[in-house]
Amino acid sequence: MLQFTREQQDAIAKVLLDVASADGDLDFRETMYLMQLSDKVGFSIEDEEIRRYSKLNTVKCLETLKKMDTLKKKALLHMISEMTKVDGNVDSEEIKLLLIIAKFIE
């Protein structure tokens, strides 16, 4: 299993939340997927932490993610890709974010 630093965990949580809410609706299935990922990646999904993630600077988070090794980046892009599909509705805004993140961290 991949080990992420605290800074990486926070950045991953931030971008996953941004993607999940990009269509204007945080679906129950997206929340469940976040719960699964929180255990694997190591971030918290407590309300207090969710509020903290939402206030994080997106560019700084992307810069943190860009510094990760290739294996971690691939894992992140897989997580984001799955997040776009998990609610059964692949929204164009979610796809745009996925593409922006992928381009930024390459």
Residue pLDDT, tens place only, 52-74: 999 999 999 999 999 999 999 99
Provide the whole-model pTM: 0.94
Nearest C-alpha neighbor of 104 from the set 56, 73, 61, 62: 62
pLDDT at position 30 is 94
pLDDT higher than threshold 90 for residue 23: no
Q: CA 37, CA 19: separation in Å to the nearest integer?
A: 14
pLDDT at position 25 is 85
pLDDT at position 72 is 98
pLDDT at position 81 is 96
8-12, 77-81, 92-96, range with the lowest pLDDT: 92-96
The CA-atom distances, in angstroms, between 100 and each of 2, 22, 52 are: 23, 13, 22
Long-range pairs of 87-95 with CB within 8 A, sequence gap ≥ 24: 87/25, 87/27, 87/29, 87/30, 88/29, 89/23, 89/27, 91/22, 91/23, 93/22, 93/23, 94/19, 94/20, 94/22, 94/23
Domains of the chain: 6-105 (1.10.3680.10)
pLDDT at position 20 is 93
Cβ–Cβ < 8 Å for 72, 8 = yes
Q: CA 61, CA 4: separation in Å to the nearest integer?
A: 13
The overall average pLDDT reported for the chain is 95
pLDDT higher than threshold 90 for residue 1: no
